[in-house]
Amino acid sequence: MEIAGIPDPNSSSAASSASPSRYESQKRRDWNTFGQYLNNHRPPLSLARCSGAHVLEFLRYLDQFGKTKVHTQMCPFYGHPNPPVPCPCPLRQAWGSLDALIGRLRAAFEENGGKPEANPFGSRAVRLYLREVRDLQSKARGVSYEKKKRKKPQGGGAESNGNNPPPSSSSTASAT
Give the model's pLDDT for residue 14. Answer: 46
Give the model's pLDDT for residue 102. Answer: 97
Residue 62: left (phi > 0), alpha (psi -120 to 50), or beta? alpha
Cβ atoms 74, 134 nearer than 8 A: no
Of 135, 119, 3, the C-alpha closest to 55 is 119
Give the model's pLDDT for residue 79. Answer: 87
What domains can be seen in the chain, in order of their start residue?
22-141 (1.10.150)
pTM confidence score: 0.70
Name 80's bridge partners: none
Cα dist from 132 to 93, 97, 101, 147, whole Å: 13, 14, 16, 15
Residue type, 35: G
Q: What is the pLDDT of residues 76-123, one digit of tens each?
A: 988 888 888 888 888 999 999 999 999 999 999 999 999 999 999 999
Under-70 pLDDT residues of the chain: 1-17, 143-176
Over its C-alpha atoms, the chain yields an Rg (Å, rounded) of: 24
Sign of CA dihedral 35, 37, 40, 45: negative
